[in-house]
Amino acid sequence: MSLNLGVIDYGMGNLHSVGKALERLGEKAVSVQGPEDLNSIDALILPGVGSFDPAIENLHATGLVPHLKAWGENNRPLLGICLGLQLLFERSDEGSKDGLGLFQGSVERLQSHPNERIPHMGWAPLKVERNCPLLHSDDPIPWVYFVHSYAAVPLDSSALASTAAYGNSPVTAMVWSGRIGACQFHPEKSSSAGEAMLKRWLHWLHQGAEPVH
């Protein structure tokens, strides 16, 4: 099946690297800057780099927020990346604005550890908590690239798809529910491991995007 991908452009994401990663996999995404750009889009990517409140303010300025909430309520395919994951939650310690609320729970500042730094920056292996369209438990353990100072805490533990170690405790690396998922890490900057996950996601979309329960 043909696939129309949209990458949300709200001034807070590295659209170039996401677009190039998709091009390497034979796909092309259009820029979504307002509600009118959602026409004929099959799946969305919400990237993000920066702070929570300015990101939500920018999203509101595009007029996309009610449409993204409706997109989530209708369980249509969406992939959040980095700050894009955090925006899918209800709130964040980083600011006072409401998030999109597509996942219940909050985003909390990473706790300091003697052998870790904030922001958590660099490569780390993932632990699969449940299979999802990006990663299965029988896949080789992927090392992926993180840059973050906050991590999501899902209210429903079944939404947790993978974690990464930070100090003595795991932190959320990936969440998934239905057709909506997100990565705290950057798959587009995670070399062959990230490329394999994006390829798996695209294959899932082309096969009809069966919801994850």
Cβ-based neighbours of 211, under 8 Å, separated by 6 or more: 75, 178, 179
Q: Which residue has the tokens 């390497």?
A: 24
Residue type, 148: H
Active site residue 82: yes
Which is the catalytic residue, given 120, 148, 183, 186? 186
Active site residue 132: no
Which is the catalytic residue, given 82, 94, 120, 129? 82
Active site residue 183: no
Which is the catalytic residue, given 27, 94, 129, 188? 188
**DSSP β-bridge partners for residue 183:** 81, 174
Per-position b or e across 152-185, b if 16+ CB within 10 A of its CB: bebeeeebbbbbbebeeeebbbbbbbbbbbbbbb
What is the set of active-site residues?
82, 186, 188
